[in-house]
Structures are given as structure tokens and as C-alpha cells.
């Protein structure tokens, strides 16, 4: 049986949790239809490791960025180094960047400075952004709203792209989801969507636009049900696709086709020949009601 093609739009394949069996992890991902993986950086060292992996594995792409929990020593030199890394042909985004008020490792002011600096880098390079948001929706929305509306961004190379970024591991409400559409952003849905107690996220996801959604795992963290308690890996994107299909009353093939098309458009990558989406599911669905934020699993400072 042919499995549908999928993209894991957010997986930390460079982490040490995969050092002993990375090749087997990639093989299992392929067997489940996960043909492309985007590996975001969390600091300069991990950004370089992501690029090295992308050089060795044709199905892996890299993003480069400094995570908010790593942003305490962010400065112009770090930004210059990121800019140089971003020139690599397999770098497809700046990320993951954003704000994290859960762990309290770096002051909000320092996080915001690094966030804004990397957003400007994305605009200058024309690369989309991968946004981390944990307990910081109001400030993330304010910064992204200002950045996307600014004349500098709207006249930048990024403005030539159809999509500008993704709110990774989305756990916000309907208002934030609608704002993301205005910003020309997509939403990344991962393991939390499969959690039995994530009722608010289930309700919201069932009303979202499939043409603005992507699958992700955030591996090695946020392992989906029924694999919770084990290390997450890209193959588990198939479990997220299955749950999203249930919530949307769609087929897994429809979900895989649409989310893969969105990921390819956002990151400018090619996943090969993709199945045509079925006509039965509308491209755009209304978001009918608001939802309260669903907390993310507290596995690590970078999860």
C-alpha cells in the first residue's frame, strides 16, 4: 500500500537523543511517508549541526536561529554569524525564534531584542520564520504584528513570498490563529493535538484552514498519543495527520497532501510528485469560535 507523502516541518534531529540511531530514525520516517524534515536551530552550534545533517541527508533541510531560551548573550556578532549560515542552500528558514515566558531563563527584554533582530534578518534574507511561543502570545502577537505591517518588511525580499512564517506547536486561540492568517503565516500542529485532554485545541483545529496548516513533531519532545513516554521521532507525524483527519472529517490522504503543499510553499522545497487534493474538502474553512490556549508538555526548556 502506498503511504501519503508528508513533511515534518519541525524536528530537532540534530539533538543528542538521536545520536545512536539517526539513520534508523530516518528510515522509519520514510516508511511512514515522511519524505522531508525541517530541522530548526536553537543556537549557533545547533544551527551548524542542522546544516551538517542537511548536507548528509537529502530529505533534511535546516533552519538557523537562536531560541529565546538561548538568547541571553545575543548580540550583533551572533546575528552576523546567523546571516552567514543563512546563505547555505539547504537553509530554508530563520528559526526557531520567539518568546518563552514559561522557563524564565532569559529576561523578556533580552528575548524581545533577539526576536526582533532575527525577524529583521529574515526580512533581509527573504527567508520565512519559525516562531516559538510559550506563555507569551500577547507579546508575540504585538511584535509580529508590528514587523509584518512595517514598510521595511513589506518592501523586503520576504514580501515576495506567499507565506512568511509558521507559529510552531500552535496552542493559541482563534484570535491568534486569525491574526496569523493576516500575517501570511501558517500554523504547525504536532503531538499536543493527539492528547486526550487537549479539548480546546481539538475544537479549534476542527475549524482551521487546511491550506494554512502543517504537520510537525518537535521531536524528540511532545510525543503523540499513544506513544507518550517514549522519545518522539519524525515517523510520528503520521499520528498527527491521522488525528487531524479525524477532527476535520477528512481523509489522511487529504491532510497529507494539503499540509505537504503548505510546507513546500513556505520553505521553498520540493517533496516530489504529490497527490492532488480531493475536491470534497474546501480550501478555506471559517474559524467559527474562539478557544483558550492549551499548555504544551513541559519536557524540556526547548520543547
Residue 302, pLDDT score: 67
- Going residue by residue through the chain (303 aa), what tens digit of pLDDT does each one get? 678 999 999 999 999 999 999 999 999 999 999 999 999 999 999 999 999 999 999 999 999 999 999 999 999 999 999 999 999 999 999 999 999 999 989 999 999 999 999 999 999 999 999 999 999 999 999 999 999 999 999 999 999 999 999 999 998 999 999 999 999 999 999 999 999 999 999 999 999 989 999 999 999 999 999 999 999 999 999 999 999 999 999 999 999 999 999 999 999 999 875 444 433 333 333 333 333 233 333 334 466
Single pTM value for the model: 0.91
- Give residue 3's pLDDT: 84
* Cα 132–chain centre separation: 8
The C-alpha cell that represents 183 in the structure block: 500575517
Domains and CATH numbers, the chain: 6-267 (3.20.20.140)
Task: Output phi, psi for 188, to 5 deg.
Answer: -95, 125
Q: How far is the C-alpha of 251 from the C-alpha of 111, rounded, in Å?
A: 40
pLDDT value, residue 139: 98
The per-residue pLDDT for 1 is 61
From CA 4, how far away is CA 39, in angstroms rounded?
Answer: 21
DSSP class per residue in 56-110: H-TTEEEEE---GGGGGG--HHHHHHHHHHTTSTTEEEEEEEEEE-SS--S-HHH
Does an H or E element contain 154, and which? helix 151-154
Question: Which among 169, 179, 97 has a CA at the least distance from the CA of 138?
Answer: 179
Amino acid at each position: 500500500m502506498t503511504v501519503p507523502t508528508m513533511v515534518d516541518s519541525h524536528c530537532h534531529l540534530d539533538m543528542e537523543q538521536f545520536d545512536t540511531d539517526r539513520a534508523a530514525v530516518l528510515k522509519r520516517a520514510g516508511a511512514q511517508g515522511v519524505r522531508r524534515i525541517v530541522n530548526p536551530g536553537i543556537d549557533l552550534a545547533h544551527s551548524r549541526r542542522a546544516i551538517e545533517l542537511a548536507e548528509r541527508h537529502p530529505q533534511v533541510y535546516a533552519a538557523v536561529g537562536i531560541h529565546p531560551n538561548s538568547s541571553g548573550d545575543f548580540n550583533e556578532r551572533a546575528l552576523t554569524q546567523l546571516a552567514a549560515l543563512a546563505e547555505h542552500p539547504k537553509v530554508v528558514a530563520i528559526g526557531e525564534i520567539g518568546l518563552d515566558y514559561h522557563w524564565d531563563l532569559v529576561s523578556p527584554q533580552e528575548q524581545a531584542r533577539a526576536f526582533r533582530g532575527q525577524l529583521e534578518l529574515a526580512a533581509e534574507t527573504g527567508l520565512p520564520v519559525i516562531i516559538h511561543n510559550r506563555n507569551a502570545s500577547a507579546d508575540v502577537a504585538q511584535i509580529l504584528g508590528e514587523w509584518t505591517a512595517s514598510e521595511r518588511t513589506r518592501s523586503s525580499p520576504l514580501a515576495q513570498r506567499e507565506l512568511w512564517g509558521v507559529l510552531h506547536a500552535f496552542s493559541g486561540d482563534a484570535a491568534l490563529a486569525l491574526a496569523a492568517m493576516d500575517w501570511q503565516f501558517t500554523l504547525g500542529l504536532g503531538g499536543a493535538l493527539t492528547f486526550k485532554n487537549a479539548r480546546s485545541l481539538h475544537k479549534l483545529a476542527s475549524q482551521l484552514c487546511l491550506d494554512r496548516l502543517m504537520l510537525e513533531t518537535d521531536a524528540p519532545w511532545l510525543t503523540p498519543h499513544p506513544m507518550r513516554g517514549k522519545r518522539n521521532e519524525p515517523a510520528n507525524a503520521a499520528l498527527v495527520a491521522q488525528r487531524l483527519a479525524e477532527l476535520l472529517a477528512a481523509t489522511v490522504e487529504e491532510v497529507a497532501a494539503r499540509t505537504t503543499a503548505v510546507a513546500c510553499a513556505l520553505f521553498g522545497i520540493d517533496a516530489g510528485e504529490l497527490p492532488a487534493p480531493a475536491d470534497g474538502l474546501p480550501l478555506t474553512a471559517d474559524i467559527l469560535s474562539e478557544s483558550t490556549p492549551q499548555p504544551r508538555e513541559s519536557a524540556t526548556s526547548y520543547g
